[in-house]
Structure 1
Amino acid sequence: MSGGSLQAELKKREPFVCAEQEAMIGLWRVSDWSMNRFGALFRDYELTSSQYNVLRILRGAGEPLPVQEVAGRMIQPVPAMTGLVDRLEKALLVERRRIADDRRVIHVSLTKKGEAVLKKLDKPVVELHEKLMTGLSKSEVKQLVGLIEKLAGKMRGCE
């Protein structure tokens, strides 16, 4: 996107105010494109990106988790976590249990059906990750990961 191609793509008459502005708008645009592609994939399985993220978190944890713990691990914060879990439970992909020691705490776990849906999605998700990064070499992907981590670390400090 360097050399004014983003500027031309957006039909922006004036140059960007600074390189940082161009970089952030470029990141925003790439993020939107990739989220749309993943959203389309998940729709084929009657899931949203957020629902997929909950299932992925539960599988990765390997044990039931409190709803608030799941919420804290989400890629994108979800304001209506209870509603999200409700829809997953209605689809029989997760189940909830109250903890005997503290009846206020609700743990969520993945069901066999939830595991099966994730298993079906594993290969298509990896293939889409790879397809979206096709234009970059393995070393460029690693460099991008490092830059994103560096930027995220700095952004966390700006909150």
Structure 2
Amino acid sequence: MTNADEDRRPVRHRQDGEMTLSCLGPSPDPPFEQVTSAAVVAVTDDGRLVVADLARGLDIPGGHVQRGESSIDETVRREAWEEVRVQLGVLHPVEVIESDYFGADDLTYMVIRTGRVAELGPWEATHESAGRVVIDPEEFLRSYRGGDPALMRHLVTTALATLAALPTP
């Protein structure tokens, strides 16, 4: 019996700490069975980001694909709801990041989307996030401490450019 709240592919701490991440661009999506995690740059109509207040600091909502999920967008929407309580509109590709975490013969992928916030749900703290912050993109990038600042800048600026290039409804 499997638990729907279990990661489809659990990540264990690597002893050697060596791993290579390669940005492949926004598309095409890799085969879903090779996707381990997904995240979203959630943008309000006035151009601010909705980010999660996590133990490691402010970060975009995202996480691991869980058993029973059948698409990248399903994972993105679940994580956005769990971590920042937002419903998202149409999702757009931002980046596919290839990882050799499990070895060169077992490549996996992290997929980043962007989308406009359709609705801010009522906030409630969970084990996923201590808070939801609506913040100017540059302020978020200045305060980001969760990982690689250059990669996060790339993801945020690409997401904002993607949304800006879309026709106005």
Q: If the length of structure 1 is used for normalisation, what is the TM-score?
A: 0.28
Give the structure with the higher percent helix. Answer: 1
| More relative contact order, 1 or 2 (CA 8 Å, 6+ apart) | 2
Give the structure with the higher percent strand. Answer: 2
Structure with larger Rg: 1
